[in-house]
A = this chain, B = another copy of it.
Amino acid sequence: MTDAFYDVLMRRRDVRAEFTGAPIPGDVLNRVLTAAHAAPSVGLTQPWDFVLVSDHDTRSAFREHVLAEREVFARSLADERNETFARIKIEGILESSLGIVVTYDPERGSPAVLGRHAIADAGLYSVCLAIQNLWLAATAEDLGVGWVSFYREEFLARLVGLPEGVRPVAWLCVGPVTRLQETPDLERHGWRRRRPLSAATHLERFGELNTASR
Contact = CB atoms under 8 A, between A and B. Distances in A.
Work out how many copies of this chain go into the complex: 2
A61 interface: no
A6 B206 contact: no
Contacts of A205: 51, 160-161
A interface, size bucket:
35 or more
Given A53-B204, A132-B128, A213-B30, A118 B40 contact: no
A94 interface: no
B51 A191 contact: no
Interface of A: 1-2, 4-10, 12-14, 26, 29-31, 33-35, 37-40, 42-46, 48-55, 58, 69, 72-73, 76-77, 81, 85, 88, 90, 103, 109, 112, 114-119, 121-122, 124-125, 128-129, 131-133, 135-137, 140-141, 147, 149-153, 160-163, 166, 169-170, 184, 186-187, 191-195, 197, 200-207, 210, 212-214
